[in-house]
Amino acid sequence: MAVLDYYGHSTFGLTTDDGTRVIIDPFFDDNPWTEVSPSDVEADFIFCTHGHFDHFVDAIAIAKNTGATVVGAFELIEYVQSQGVENVHPMHIGGGWDFPFGRVKLTVAIHGGRVHGEGAEGFTTSPAGLLFDLGPGKRLYHAGDTALTMDMQLLKGRVDVALLPMGDNFTMGPEDAVTAIEFIEPSVVIPIHYDTWPFIEQDVEAFAALVGARARVVIIEPGKGSYEF
């Protein structure tokens, strides 16, 4: 049984069947949804969809505390290395890798490429989504921050659980997220990247109603809930 712990916004802890601990988009200290601090986090791997503050800010501290391997697009990993993190795995859009716990592929996401951090002015990178294949019935797609893209149609039949932003303003909103669901056809959808700040306030129950029978919408209370699959 794999378990997703939702810390709010786009931050998740993923514990795989073999007990591997994965953190996705680490945003803890300034995340209003959680009281967990970076020093509390245990991780074997850290995956970052992109370098914006609210997806990356605690990656380096957690990596140094835990020895976790940081995974992301090449330029982002170059910056992580420049900050003294030794365990890294660079990837890029369209590429995949067989990790001990399963295969992960970086998918297209349309968003900004700035890297947040001291001395990061010379680093920009392509944002990405993350497609985890943990075995039958356990194919997980974290879309990252993205607009609706036609490339999402390529994921049809390859996703069991989709973590989709629907806050609008910075990412796709509820209507575009519904179209993404039509493209991907996941069994389960977990809405993310909403209600953290006024710009992305949404009625998540209304979103679930909008999705209708297209998929089962699982609403995890930010900072408190989890999902087993």
Q: Tokens 């380096």 sit at which residue?
A: 60
Which candidate, 10, 92, 12, 195, places its Cα nearest to that of 2?
12
Please give the mean pLDDT across all residues of the chain.
97
3-state secondary structure (DSSP) of residue 6: strand
Does pLDDT of 122 surpass 90?
no
Q: How many Cα atoms within 13 Å fall on the side-chain side of residue 138? A: 19
Contact 173, 191 (CB under 8 A): no
**pLDDT 10s digits, 187-216:** 999 999 999 999 999 999 999 999 999 999
From the candidate CATH numbers 3.60.15.10, 3.50.50.60, 3.40.50.800, 2.60.260.40, the one assigned to the domain spanning 3-228: 3.60.15.10
**pLDDT 10s digits, 43-61:** 999 999 999 999 999 999 9
Q: How many Cα atoms within 13 Å fall on the side-chain side of residue 71? A: 26
Phi then psi dihedrals of residue 216, to 5 deg: -85, 120
Compute how many other C-beta atoms are within 10 angstroms of the C-beta atom of residue 4: 22
pTM exceeding the 0.75 threshold for the entire prediction? yes
Compute how many other C-beta atoms are within 10 angstroms of the C-beta atom of residue 118: 9
Phi then psi dihedrals of residue 212, to 5 deg: 60, -130
Q: Give the pLDDT confidence score for residue 121 in this predicted structure.
A: 85
**pLDDT 10s digits, 59-111:** 999 999 999 999 999 999 999 999 999 999 999 999 999 999 999 999 999 99
